[in-house]
């Protein structure tokens, strides 16, 4: 039944802790940690767990969290009652039961995953519970409390000279960008819907490429790809492969972190793009093809069944099993009910009926030209 073999010549590690999945942001809040349960069920029912090293991740220590975050902010997350400061807490980032455990567990998984890459025990490390790119040094933002990506990159920088961060969540990766704004050792590339007035967080225009001061090492080491509603698989792939291909050629990173926010899929509750599961997954295939140590994290994704489909498919890409995976619902699937109503298929059509593609060829080409011009200033 389950015949998925280990990948040949490289190792994939899976980092998770089921305790993360039991937390609840509140009934009406779009962030649903149980999408991770659905993802894992799907991955395991295909037998993909047999092809990876599985690690039960541990909670990050306070000291580890404070490697990026302000002491008093972490103390507040630990004991929210003892402070009158707000630290970004509110409707987007509520205080819920077990908040500190939730944060320290998803961050611990990303830190562990990064360390497996540092020690070369893993070539591709996966943490679908991570990818919470909006968290700031001293403030929660956009459903994110602790920035596991920044913490993981700090680990990678102990051993790797240059880290490339790529963010395909529909939202701008502002927290990671801000953390490494003045560094040339981390290059941040975010693809996102951009509308300063109405779409969260309102940052990330094409012209935002790092500090402007000529002596600042971070100048030109940020790439922003602002997009309009309805981008489809073919335009996105063309943009992604051109920009990431050129960036890797010029920057020559020693490690890559790929944030795979699934809210860039069509039909997402918060998103506005038209990507299909295969189009989204093509980004993983492309990045993987460079054979550079890779940390894969999750992020947004607000239509849970599609999040599970995308991340299960992307797990299969990581282990090189995507060509042999049966796209029908596996026989041994404990959470079958969750998919039964709509008739399961791994690749439903999430294409264009909901939103027109408001990114024309001219606009796509303008972005590519701008980025090519910017990359002329990067030398290694």
Positions in the binding site for ligand ZLV (CB under 6 A): 28-30, 91-92, 132-134, 142-144, 169, 171, 200, 261, 263, 270, 299-300
Helix/strand/coil (H, E, C) string of 308-374?
HHHHHHHHHHHCCCCCCCCCCCCCCCCCCHHHHCCCCCCCCCCCCCCCCCCCCHHHHHHHHHHHHHH
Beta bridge partners of 265: 275
Out of Zn ion, Ca ion, ligand ZLV, none, what residue 192 binds, judged by CB under 5 to 8 A for its kind, is Ca ion
| CB of residue 299 to ligand ZLV, shortest distance in Å | 5
Q: What is the pattern of x (binds Zn ion, CB under 5 A) and - over residues 66-105?
A: ----------------------------------------
Distance CA 98, CA 19 (A): 10
Residue number of the CB atom closest to ligand ZLV = 300
| CB of residue 144 to ligand ZLV, shortest distance in Å | 6
Token pair listed for 187: 């290059």
Q: Which is nearer to Ca ion, 259 or 374 (CB)?
A: 259
Stretch that binds Zn ion, among 1-9, 19-27, 34-42, 168-176 (CB under 5 A): 168-176
Is 169 in contact with 259 (CB distance < 8 Å)? yes
| CB of residue 193 to Zn ion, shortest distance in Å | 9
In 151-275 the beta strands, taken as DSSP E runs, fall at 163-167, 186-193, 222-227, 255-259
Computed from CA positions of residues 245, 247, 250, 256, in that sequence, does the dihedral angle turn out positive or negative? negative
Q: How far is CA 207 from CA 89, 190, 280, in A?
A: 30, 13, 25
Does residue 314 touch Ca ion according to CB under 5 A? no
First to last CA, the chain: 49
Residue number of the CB atom closest to Zn ion = 300
* Other Cβ atoms within 10 Å of 216 Cβ, number: 15
* SS3 call for 235: helix
Identified binder of Zn ion from the candidate list 108, 230, 300, 320, rule CB under 5 A: 300
Strand-by-strand arrangement of the 222-227 sheet:
53-56, 12-16, 124-127, 294-297, 255-259, 163-167, 186-193, 222-227
Q: Which is nearer to ligand ZLV, 89 or 144 (CB)?
A: 144
Options 15, 69, 172, 280, the catalytic residue: 172
Annotated active-site residue 172? The verdict is: yes
Does residue 261 touch Zn ion according to CB under 5 A? yes
* Other Cβ atoms within 10 Å of 120 Cβ, number: 10
Q: Which is nearer to ligand ZLV, 272 or 292 (CB)?
A: 272
Q: Which is nearer to ligand ZLV, 94 or 138 (CB)?
A: 94
Q: Which is nearer to ligand ZLV, 92 or 229 (CB)?
A: 92
Does residue 190 touch Ca ion according to CB under 5 A? yes
Is 195 in contact with 288 (CB distance < 8 Å)? no
| CB of residue 316 to Ca ion, shortest distance in Å | 23
Out of Zn ion, ligand ZLV, Ca ion, none, what residue 21 binds, judged by CB under 5 to 8 A for its kind, is none
Stretch that binds Zn ion, among 20-28, 58-66, 255-263, 305-313 (CB under 5 A): 255-263
Identified binder of Ca ion from the candidate list 192, 288, 313, 355, rule CB under 5 A: 192
- Give residues in contact with Zn ion (CB under 5 A): 169, 171, 261, 263, 300
Active site residues per annotation: 172
């Amino acid at each position: 039944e389950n015949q998925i073999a280990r990948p040949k010549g490289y190792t994939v590690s899976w980092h998770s802790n089921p305790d993360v999945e039991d937390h609840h942001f509140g009934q009406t809040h779009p962030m649903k940690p149980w999408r991770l349960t659905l993802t894992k069920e799907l991955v395991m029912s295909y037998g993909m767990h047999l092809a990876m090293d599985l690690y039960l991740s541990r909670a990050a220590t306070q000291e580890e969290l404070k490697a990026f975050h302000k002491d008093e902010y972490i103390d507040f997350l630990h004991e929210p009652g003892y402070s009158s400061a707000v630290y970004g807490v509110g409707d987007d980032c509520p205080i819920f039961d077990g908040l500190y455990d939730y944060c320290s567990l998803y961050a611990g998984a990303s830190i562990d995953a990064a360390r497996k890459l540092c020690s070369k025990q893993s070539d591709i490390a996966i943490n679908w519970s991570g990818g919470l790119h909006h968290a700031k040094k001293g403030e929660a933002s956009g459903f994110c409390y602790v920035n596991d990506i920044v913490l993981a990159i700090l680990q990678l920088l102990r051993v790797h000279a240059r880290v490339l961060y790529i963010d395909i969540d529909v939202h701008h990766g502002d927290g990671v960008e801000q953390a490494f704004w003045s560094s040339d050792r981390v290059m941040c590339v975010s693809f996102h819907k951009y509308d300063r007035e109405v779409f969260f967080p309102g940052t990330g225009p094409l012209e935002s490429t790092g500090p402007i001061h000529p002596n600042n090492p971070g100048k030109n080491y940020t790439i922003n790809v602002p997009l309009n509603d309805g981008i489809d698989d073919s335009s996105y792939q063309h943009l992604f492969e051109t920009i990431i291909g050129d960036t890797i050629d010029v920057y020559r990173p020693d490690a890559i972190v790929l944030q795979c926010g699934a809210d860039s899929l069509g039909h997402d509750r918060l998103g506005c793009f038209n990507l299909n599961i295969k189009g989204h997954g093509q980004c993983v295939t492309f990045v993987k093809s460079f054979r550079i140590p890779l940390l894969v994290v999750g992020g947004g994704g607000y239509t849970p069944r599609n999040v599970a489909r995308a991340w299960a498919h992307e797990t299969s890409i990581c282990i090189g099993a995507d060509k042999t995976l049966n796209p029908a619902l596996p026989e041994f699937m404990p959470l079958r009910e969750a998919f039964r109503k709509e008739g399961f298929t791994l690749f439903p059509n999430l294409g264009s009926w909901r939103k027109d593609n408001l990114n024309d060829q001219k606009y796509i080409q303008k972005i590519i030209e701008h980025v090519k011009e910017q990359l002329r200033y990067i030398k290694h």
